Amino acid sequence: MFNFGVDYYPEQWPQDRWAIDARLMAEAGFNVVRLAEFAWVKMEPADGRFDFSWLDEAISVLAAHGIRVILGTPTASPPAWIMAKHPAAFRVREDGVRVTYGNRREYCPNNPTYQDYSRRIVQAMADHFTSQPAVIGWQIDNEFGDRCYCPVCLKAFQNWLSEHYASLDSLNEKWGTIFWSHTYSNWSEIPTPATTGHSPNPSLALDYYRFCSDSYVAYQQTQIDILRERCPQHFITHNLMGFGYDKINYFDLARHLDFVSWDNYRRTQWNLQADVDPARAALDADTMRGLKSKNFWVMEQQGGSGGWEIVSVAPRPGELRLWAYQSIAHGADGILFFRWRTARYGTEQYWHGLLDHDATPGRRYQEIKQMGAELKVIGVRLLSSTVKASVAMLLAYDSRFALQIQANNPDLRYSTHFSQIYHALHDLNVPIDIIAPTDDLSRYKLIIAPLLHVVTPQIAANLESFVVKGGTLLTGPRSGVKDETNVVVNMRLPGLLRSMVGVDVTEYDSLTPGMNQALHFVLPELEGCAGNAEVWCDVLEPSGAETVAVYTANYYAGKPAITLNHFGSGKAIYVGTLGDGSLHASLMPWLLRIANVDQNFRAPSGVEITERWQGDKRLVFILNHTDTQQEVQLHGTPTNLFTNAVENADPLILQPKAVLVLEM
């Protein structure tokens, strides 16, 4: 049975509605719900007084319809009675202002009082629900995030530093605090990098960002420990926020979870485009799969327009189902829609669920009900199947944090550059893993390391070993610039990567938009290819590498912009500039070729093809993200799993927003 369900808030609706909801859920094919992650005050209405009776009742109503339950620990949003009693538990923003009550995530994760309350409610829930058979697992808190700059965090940071550095002298030396006379003579003198001090020491700032990430990881661990002990039979997860969220090291946060969950929204208040980019959703999903190199759940799959004060563009007919299948195509083993019914009150009145405020089952409910019926047919075929990739991109949180602190150029953004490269690969319908720079690379043929700004000796050795053994590596500007403490290396760039890529960066130019320029490809097999240099130009001096492309303007016209180095049995490509889309479109097919990566599918723009393997059985997902009919040419005689019929694939005709799941 494929895990298919919805996020439900029985506490927000009259109890006599619960059975109707449960029936409609079952009719939609749902077999799992998430409950209670914002219901702290309902479970602990006063200090130390617990009441789970209403939740028992809700669970039994759902269970009666064959629906299992994931429970959220409710610590993302504390009751007013806690915060009124303990105002020091409120988070302090980067600008020094302490937040006030009335939203959620207002707590400081390092506050000991808040931690005490958190532990107590989690213990009480665990003790109560460990014996409830409908409960199958736990979600901890909700969408961890937001750095805190309060005095408790300051003290905790100073302690964290004293544990991470051999001595204060060592910290002073490694951070270079002699600059501007910042040398600390006592741990207690070390500040946070709050904006009230502006432009902090980059080493201090990077450590603070790591500390903030560690703080949430540690806070989560206190809850994991309780649940592991009391509910060993239940799984534990947390709902993360895809590729885009960049303030927690998600590899660390995922480490002690059983699997990763995440929240998948394509149309929200903060993303108001008329058209949705399918590659971005694919990147999110691949990132989530990569955190533990295993399948994941979508704990919140979009169920309607998303917005708080602003209503997003409405999901078009077919989109909700298409996006849910896209999640599965990239590795989801569970899909829960957010949320069942749109809230009539509170901040999220316009974050629409499958049902509208008035509970009428409408277009959205019917669309998902169709999917529920389909999954009853094909769900079993998806179990234990996985995505297999021979290409990986390295997601490096240290580098990402470091570039938040020093962007290098106003238009240099880690996520934008990473996404652009991902997009060019995704257009070729090649499976991609998103992994950490320290992960095992031996499974892959091609590794792409964008903006690998902070390079440790361990990372450098990992990459060299990969290339020496025959792998192909792509990296580029602003890589190898920093050591682990965010200090510029005392060597020619790209620093520790220099011998592997076989080039020296002798100079660099940081461009304004008007200074963009075309590249000229000199490698014969790339003759005629196009591509522009943008944002940044490294001026390269090969020390063994051959030149792939050269600059055509500025005082470094004619000098190498892209090089290829043979290193051991492998190849290292260095792209000295942040290119535009045309550059990546030119480079990616060539890279796949020289790395011997098969490109199995060709599809028109907007049609996505990806695979999951169930043992040696190959399940192919074909997703038409466009509003028009499309054609795809496949080889062989695939079986349509929805219909169990053999498809005529010469060509395959795809209706707008169509989803096909084929066995090849």
Tokens 């995530």 identify what position? 105
Residue list 508-567, contact with a copy of itself (CB under 8 A) = 508-512, 514-515, 555
Task: Note if 143 is an active site residue.
Answer: yes
Under the binding rule (CB under 8 A), the answer on residue 494 touching a copy of itself is no
What span, in angstroms and rounded, lies between the C-alpha atoms of 287 and 295?
11
Under the binding rule (CB under 8 A), the answer on residue 366 touching a copy of itself is no
The CB density around residue 484, as the number of other CB atoms within 10 Å, is: 15
Among 4, 18, 30, 38, binds a copy of itself (CB under 8 A): 38
Query: In degrees rounded to 5, what are phi and psi of residue 50?
Result: -105, 145
Among 107, 129, 157, 175, binds a copy of itself (CB under 8 A): 175
What span, in angstroms and rounded, lies between the C-alpha atoms of 360 and 362?
6
In angstroms, the first-to-last Cα distance of the chain is 22
Under the binding rule (CB under 8 A), the answer on residue 406 touching a copy of itself is yes
Residues 184-203, mask of contacts with a copy of itself (x by CB under 8 A):
xxx-xxxxxxx-xxxxxxxx
Task: Note if 300 is an active site residue.
Answer: yes
The CB density around residue 436, as the number of other CB atoms within 10 Å, is: 21
Query: In degrees rounded to 5, what are phi and psi of residue 171?
Result: -60, -50
Could you give the angle at which helices 278-292 and 319-329 cross, rounded to 10 degrees?
30
Among 94, 484, 507, 663, binds a copy of itself (CB under 8 A): 507
Under the binding rule (CB under 8 A), the answer on residue 176 touching a copy of itself is yes
Q: Which is nearer to a copy of itself, 66 or 656 (CB)?
A: 656
From 436, 590, 437, 618, select the one nearest 521 (Cα to Cα).
Answer: 590
Rounded to 10 degrees, what is the CA torsion of 247, 250, 252, 256?
A: 130
| H helix or E strand, kind and range, residue 245 | none
Q: Which is nearer to a copy of itself, 217 or 354 (CB)?
A: 354
Tokens 């719900």 identify what position? 33
Tokens read off for 366: 């019917």
Under the binding rule (CB under 8 A), the answer on residue 48 touching a copy of itself is no
Could you tell me if 647 and 637 are in contact, meaning their C-beta atoms sit under 8 angstroms apart? Answer: yes
Give how many residues touch a copy of itself by CB under 8 A.
108
Name the amino acid, one letter, at 186: N
Among 488, 530, 557, 645, binds a copy of itself (CB under 8 A): 488
Q: Which is nearer to a copy of itself, 99 or 474 (CB)?
A: 99
Tokens read off for 383: 């179990």
Residues 288-327, mask of contacts with a copy of itself (x by CB under 8 A):
-----------------x-xxxxxxxx-xx----------
Under the binding rule (CB under 8 A), the answer on residue 74 touching a copy of itself is yes
Under the binding rule (CB under 8 A), the answer on residue 338 touching a copy of itself is no
User: 235-237 and 135-139: which strand pairing?
Assistant: parallel
Smallest separation, CB 79 to a copy of itself (Å): 5
Catalytic position from the list 37, 44, 106, 143: 143
Under the binding rule (CB under 8 A), the answer on residue 81 touching a copy of itself is yes
Smallest separation, CB 447 to a copy of itself (Å): 26
Under the binding rule (CB under 8 A), the answer on residue 124 touching a copy of itself is no
Tokens read off for 612: 């999951």
Smallest separation, CB 23 to a copy of itself (Å): 19
Please give the C-alpha separations between residue 402 and each of 252, 361, 434, 452, 596, in angstroms, as whole numbers: 17, 48, 19, 10, 33
User: DSSP class of residue 503?
Assistant: E
Under the binding rule (CB under 8 A), the answer on residue 96 touching a copy of itself is yes
Query: In degrees rounded to 5, what are phi and psi of residue 511?
Result: -95, 150
Could you tell me if 599 and 637 are in contact, meaning their C-beta atoms sit under 8 angstroms apart? Answer: no
Q: Which is nearer to a copy of itself, 103 or 633 (CB)?
A: 103
Which residues neighbour 133 within 8 Å (Cβ) at sequence distance 6 or greater? 63
Smallest separation, CB 514 to a copy of itself (Å): 6
Under the binding rule (CB under 8 A), the answer on residue 42 touching a copy of itself is yes
Smallest separation, CB 508 to a copy of itself (Å): 7
Q: Which is nearer to a copy of itself, 286 or 319 (CB)?
A: 319
Among 27, 56, 277, 348, binds a copy of itself (CB under 8 A): 348
Name the amino acid, one letter, at 283: L
Q: Which is nearer to a copy of itself, 95 or 527 (CB)?
A: 95
Under the binding rule (CB under 8 A), the answer on residue 241 touching a copy of itself is no
Among 48, 131, 163, 180, binds a copy of itself (CB under 8 A): 180
Among 1, 272, 383, 653, binds a copy of itself (CB under 8 A): 272
Could you tell me if 288 and 242 are in contact, meaning their C-beta atoms sit under 8 angstroms apart? Answer: yes
Smallest separation, CB 504 to a copy of itself (Å): 9
Q: Which is nearer to a copy of itself, 202 or 570 (CB)?
A: 202
Task: Point out which span in 417-425, 481-489, 574-582, 594-602 binds a copy of itself (CB under 8 A).
Answer: 481-489
Tokens 């994760």 identify what position? 109
Please give the C-alpha separations between residue 256 and each of 48, 76, 119, 215, 237, in angstroms, as whole numbers: 29, 19, 17, 15, 9
Catalytic position from the list 37, 44, 300, 374: 300
User: 391-394 and 296-302: which strand pairing?
Assistant: unpaired
Residue list 1-30, contact with a copy of itself (CB under 8 A) = 9, 11-12
Among 20, 45, 244, 373, binds a copy of itself (CB under 8 A): 45
Smallest separation, CB 158 to a copy of itself (Å): 12
Smallest separation, CB 178 to a copy of itself (Å): 5
Question: In 3-state terms, what secondary structure has residue 644?
Answer: coil
Among 57, 64, 159, 179, binds a copy of itself (CB under 8 A): 179
Residues with catalytic function: 143, 300
